[in-house]
Structure 1
Amino acid sequence: MRARKNQLFFPEGEVVGAVRGVVLFGLCFLAGGAVASPVIKRVDAPKTAKQWAKYEVSLDIRAAYQNPFDPEQVEVWAIFRAPDGRRVKVPGFYFEPWRIGNPGGVVLTNPGKERHELSGRPCFKVRFCPVEPGVYSFEVFVRDKTGLTKAGPFTFHCLPSEGHGFVRISEGNPRYFEFDDGSPFVPVGLCVPWARGNWEGDTYDHYIAKISESGGNAIRVWMCHWAWLEWTPGGKGSLRGYRGVGWYNQRICANFDRILELCEQYGVYVMLCFNNACWEFGRPDGKHWAYDSWGGNPYNVKNGGPCLRPADFWTNPEARRLYKRKLRYIVARWGYSPNVWAWELWNEIGRASEAIAQWHKEMASYLRKVDPNRHLVTTSSWDPLPNEHLWEEMDFTQIHGDLSLVEPMLDKYPGKPLVVGEGPVDEEGRAIRRSLWRALLSGAAGPPLTWAFLGRGCPIDRNDFWGLYKAISRFVKGIPLGRLSPRKPKV
């Protein structure tokens, strides 16, 4: 099965070493009697699972820590043994069961309108994606400053399903995407950076359903700009749940749990963007010290972070360490899902300096180290042809808006797919229609992801332009783009 070679397997020697650590610590405890190791009080795990679907393990533990999000204080993970004997290490994460309390349970990213209710006790979880049918076994591990404890083995039976697997770069033509099973993935959809409930239908439930109904399969979502995982307490509206750098807002996490569930329900694949540079480091309106800019950024030393100025973020060792911790949490919580098309490190990073390019290389490498499912990694820039080192460790390149850059980018980076992550939008639909076809027929990996908003509203909804997406979805359906070799016309 092609899927298995893309999953990050755990070497046998490291598994033995981890178990040996548990045994040795237990012997020390028996001999000295002075140290209490962490305790795994309860493990809840289903007996069955579906291939390509979420398998979730819940742990009730007792351990010594102050910050449950810091794996240097408390680390939870599991090692799964696949039916063919291979092992996969999956990081665990801290979880609070917040229920979305908006009318109808719809998902917004508007701190002034969102409502959440705590619906149970916190715990730790491990989320895993079984990639083949059969019987799996697994063990769970907890480590804190006092030692290491394990529980298991546990077993479950994975039933076959009709899923296609994770999105990969096409083996036949690296300018396009395909799934683990070799079927093509041509992204068709919208860029919906936020959904704030400002008009009827302005919810992620609505946009994801409409993308699917129109034959689309892709959405780009921001995990920032009032949907930050970590930020500084304060600000206007009901920005509850923030505690500064290294603490991840569980209300916001509940929103993204639901967004991913909607994507899985409707067969839509999400490019999840972690940060927005022009806002988080300096707002376009010049209000550099505003709460939603560097003034509220948790990496700012005035807010308890390690950086005196925005530029320090890229080079400060402590900032890089803290950011990797956040990446680990993101992978642990959402990395199980095949419906995560790609991780996007930044929105429109701008003219990338060498320090920024090196930061991207380091973080992309770290993601591949901790993500057992090897999701694709990308970023974006408003610079027409940014520092070429920016793209070295990215799986695909990305531009926004200017479609005249499609062919120059493909010429400069011929071995990578190109995605137009933000496509033009207008009230007449002409710019939308032209952009969809122009990008695809110019060699991009798919049509642009149309920017959803114009003024106060969504023109695609307001003018019912969904038929444009139905047409291009029908056109690309079944076309094996990964097996084609586009050539420039001779003139």
Structure 2
Amino acid sequence: MKHIILIICLCLISSCAQTNSSTTTPTLSSDVFNKSAIAQNETITLNTYVVANWQSPYQSADIAVDLTIVTPSKQQLTLPGYYVSGQSGELSHWQFKFTPAEVGTYTVKVLINNNNMLQHGKTEQFTVSQSTLKGFLRSNDKWSFQYDNGQLFRGLGENFGWEKRDNDDSKFFKELHEKPRFNYDYMLKSLSEDGANIFRTWMIFWNLPVDFQHVDNNARYENTNERFNPSGIKRMNELLDIASKYDMKMILSLDSHAAFSGQGWNFNSYNTKNGGPAETVAEFFTSDEAKQRYKDKLRFMVAKWGYSSQIAAWEFFNEIDNVMYNGEHQHISDDIIVAWHKEMSEYLAIIDAHNHLITTSISHREVDGLFDLPSIDINQSHLYKVTNDIPEIISKFEKAHDAPYFVGEFSAEWDWSQNFDLIQEEMISDYKQGLWFGMFSPSPIMPLSWWWEYFDEKGTSAYFNHVKTINDLMLSTGNKALAAQSVNNSNAQLTTLALTNGKKAFVYVNNPSDTAQNFTLNNLPSLSHLDKIYDCESGEFIKVKHTGDYTLAAKQNWVIIYNL
């Protein structure tokens, strides 16, 4: 991505901050305001220099440096700035990163809140010209997202939860999991080549530990006394560069249950033993000091990386229900968790000038009220050993909460102590089946599999290209929103799902049995207008004589496409 550097010189000078004496008016100067135009959806970096007093530049109660923005459509935005260098009471360096989505004239100025003393900078303007860049992903409907340029998007990918650890805990695949190739550089390139367009990853004390002073089990990272971990920041910067290179969208899980349970709490920066404000995990969600610290974390995340359209969604928690329970004993109430998510999602929606999607996830226990919060854009749960039920489960969540939903993790097995090679055929067929079931269900992201090392080793990830072929057809050939299509199959042993994009009907037929099955389709007006038949396993369109009667081989599946 091309970056344009804007230099803004701003000085906030206080002759005597302790006595709240007057300060000079902040000034702005930059050649950028004399440029004819900046390209739409290209990131610009603005530098500002401030003299102010603080105990910590990462505590917004001490110092908050923001950019106020009025867009061409007159929308008013506030973009947090992030601290780069300098000392309290001396000249300090701050930056803003902004990716303008609209064409036209933007009006901006710096706003500084230093210990409740407000200072406004001079108003400046710059102009943005139209470009061919797609922009950010936005909510569209329950089947798809939409880029700023109007292009539809459905997520196809998998989890890549973390880069390889120094000492993996897998009973049977420790050697595989510790192979150096399992890093963002290799995996994002491989997934992109295999046809994927999205992945989900964690921030945790062994991976992207931006909010952890104490790290573990990954030599890439170092312990620190800094509020935010420099080694985690460095890798996060690199990750966004890699994701941009391969145009891979990311669901970024900001926290995981793993840092709030068992030994994980010992690494948590919010733990009082590590200088944090919470004596217990429950206090993380209820303490005003802990919540303010978390909001300052969100400010930093948005200021530092919110510019990136590669971030599809911020995810507050991986499996928040596993934080709430010790085994089957619930020690943190639903009300506390819902109240925390409401407060944080509303705050994040206000400070994120780029308006990324927001999600959070549960494992298998529902949290009453969580999936009905207006500022949670897309709901998410994790499904193991129930892949055949995915269409029914997606439909249930979509109807119960009237909001988009996706399966954030799935597989034939969740237990990492099992030898997957003993069920290899089931693991691989389940991986493939989940993708098709998700495609033909109302979800903007197809189910994301777990166990990335295993499926990469088996070559299963290449199957994404098979699914991509139909996904691209669905999104590129229609003139209406995707919608479920009613169709009947004469053979009850076959699974049949269908949808339409206004111009074509797509019918998915799966034969899970050990024998070939004959079938006919009916109750679809366009049955006489066969376009083509796609063999899901071979990834090829096949020639089948169209008589209305079909024979589908054992363990095979087709997508039959009709013109409307």
Q: Could you say which TM-score interval applies, normalised by the shorter chain?
A: 0.7 to 0.9
Could you report, residue by residue, the CA deviation over 1:218-240 in whole angstroms, capped at 9, with x for unpaired residues?
01111223233223447675753
Q: Post-superposition shift, 1:201?
A: 2.5
CA contact (8 A) 2:394 2:441 kept: no
Asked if 1:327 corresponds to 2:298, the answer is yes
CA contact (8 A) 1:39 1:61 kept: no
Return the alpha-carbon distance in structure 2 between the equivalents of residues 36 and 43 of structure 1.
Answer: 22
Q: Post-superposition shift, 1:489?
A: 6.0
- Cα gap change, 1:76 to 1:83, in 2 (>3 Å): same
Flag structure 1 segments of 5+ consecutive residues without an equivalent: 1-21, 98-120, 283-287
CA contact (8 A) 2:38 2:129 kept: yes
CA contact (8 A) 1:364 1:377 kept: yes
Return the alpha-carbon distance in structure 1 between the equivalents of residues 397 and 107 of structure 2.
Answer: 46
Residue 279 of structure 2 corresponds to which residue in structure 1?
308
Could you report, residue by residue, the CA deviation over 1:254-307 in whole angstroms, capped at 9, with x for unpaired residues?
221221222223221111101111x2121xxxxx3x3xx112222222222222
Return the alpha-carbon distance in structure 2 between the equivalents of residues 488 and 311 of structure 1.
Answer: 47
190, 195, 198: which one pairs with 1:215?
A: 195
Letter aligned with residue 106 of structure 2: Y
Asked if 1:128 corresponds to 2:91, the answer is no
- Cα gap change, 1:317 to 1:249, in 2 (>3 Å): same
Between stretches 296-305 and 325-334, larger displacement belongs to 296-305
CA contact (8 A) 2:247 2:310 kept: yes
Asked if 1:460 corresponds to 2:447, the answer is no
- Cα gap change, 1:174 to 1:146, in 2 (>3 Å): closer
379, 387, 396: which one pairs with 1:397?
A: 379
16, 21, 24: which one pairs with 1:35?
A: 21
Helix, strand or coil for the counterpart of 2:344? helix
Letter aligned with residue 166 of structure 1: F
Helix, strand or coil for the counterpart of 1:451? coil
Asked if 1:424 corresponds to 2:411, the answer is yes
Q: Post-superposition shift, 1:358?
A: 1.9
Q: Post-superposition shift, 1:369?
A: 1.6
Letter aligned with residue 161 of structure 2: P
**How many aligned residue pairs are there?**
425
Could you report, residue by residue, the CA deviation over 1:426-472 in whole angstroms, capped at 9, with x for unpaired residues?
6553232122212222443332222243xxxx233323333201111
CA contact (8 A) 2:97 2:307 kept: yes
- Give me the CA root mean square deviation: 3.3
Return the alpha-carbon distance in structure 2 between the equivalents of residues 239 and 334 of structure 1.
Answer: 19
Return the alpha-carbon distance in structure 2 between the equivalents of residues 306 and 469 of structure 1.
Answer: 45
Is the radius of gyration larger for structure 1 or structure 2? 2
Return the alpha-carbon distance in structure 2 between the equivalents of residues 376 and 65 of structure 1.
Answer: 32
Return the alpha-carbon distance in structure 1 between the equivalents of residues 483 and 455 of structure 2.
Answer: 33
Q: Say which structure is richer in strand.
A: 2
Asked if 1:486 corresponds to 2:498, the answer is no
Helix, strand or coil for the counterpart of 1:381? coil
- Cα gap change, 1:313 to 1:254, in 2 (>3 Å): same
TM-score by length of 2: 0.68
Asked if 1:317 corresponds to 2:288, the answer is yes
Return the alpha-carbon distance in structure 1 between the equivalents of residues 19 and 275 of structure 2.
Answer: 39
CA contact (8 A) 2:394 2:406 kept: no
Could you report, residue by residue, the CA deviation over 1:52-104 in whole angstroms, capped at 9, with x for unpaired residues?
2211112232221131111111111112343455443211111369xxxxxxx
Residue 441 of structure 1 corresponds to which residue in structure 2?
440
Return the alpha-carbon distance in structure 2 between the equivalents of residues 408 and 459 of structure 1.
Answer: 26
Residue 346 of structure 1 corresponds to which residue in structure 2?
317
Asked if 1:52 corresponds to 2:41, the answer is yes
Helix, strand or coil for the counterpart of 2:96? strand
Return the alpha-carbon distance in structure 2 between the equivalents of residues 256 and 446 of structure 1.
Answer: 23
Letter aligned with residue 393 of structure 2: P
Q: Post-superposition shift, 1:371?
A: 1.3
- Cα gap change, 1:45 to 1:249, in 2 (>3 Å): farther
Return the alpha-carbon distance in structure 1 between the equivalents of residues 157 and 92 of structure 2.
Answer: 36
Query: Any residues of structure 2 matched to 1:63-462 within 5 Å, and which?
Result: 63-95=52-84, 123-145=93-115, 147-170=117-140, 173-196=141-164, 198-226=178-206, 227-233=208-214, 239-240=221-222, 242-243=224-225, 247-277=227-257, 279-282=258-261, 288=262, 290=263, 293-350=264-321, 353-384=334-365, 386-393=366-373, 394-402=376-384, 403=387, 404-414=389-399, 415-424=402-411, 429-453=428-452, 458-462=453-457
Residue 499 of structure 2 corresponds to which residue in structure 1?
none
Return the alpha-carbon distance in structure 2 between the equivalents of residues 272 and 387 of structure 1.
Answer: 21
CA contact (8 A) 1:45 1:56 kept: no
CA contact (8 A) 1:45 1:58 kept: no
Could you report, residue by residue, the CA deviation over 1:346-366 in whole angstroms, capped at 9, with x for unpaired residues?
001126522112211221111
Between stretches 365-374 and 159-168, larger displacement belongs to 159-168
Flag structure 2 segments of 5+ consecutive residues without an equivalent: 1-9, 166-177, 325-333, 413-419, 493-564
Helix, strand or coil for the counterpart of 2:312? strand
Letter aligned with residue 420 of structure 1: V
Letter aligned with residue 51 of structure 1: Q
Return the alpha-carbon distance in structure 2 between the equivalents of residues 430 and 238 of structure 1.
Answer: 35
Q: Relative CO higher for 1 or 2, CA cutoff 8 Å, sep ≥ 6?
A: 1
- Cα gap change, 1:56 to 1:43, in 2 (>3 Å): farther
CA contact (8 A) 1:189 1:449 kept: yes
TM-score by length of 1: 0.77
Letter aligned with residue 77 of structure 2: V
- Cα gap change, 1:124 to 1:212, in 2 (>3 Å): same
CA contact (8 A) 1:399 1:422 kept: yes
Return the alpha-carbon distance in structure 2 between the equivalents of residues 205 and 346 of structure 1.
Answer: 25
Return the alpha-carbon distance in structure 1 between the equivalents of residues 381 and 149 of structure 2.
Answer: 28
Could you report, residue by residue, the CA deviation over 1:19-40 in whole angstroms, capped at 9, with x for unpaired residues?
xxx9xx99x979x997374896
CA contact (8 A) 1:300 1:309 kept: yes
- Cα gap change, 1:489 to 1:126, in 2 (>3 Å): same
Could you report, residue by residue, the CA deviation over 1:150-172 in whole angstroms, capped at 9, with x for unpaired residues?
444444443322222322222xx
CA contact (8 A) 2:269 2:275 kept: yes
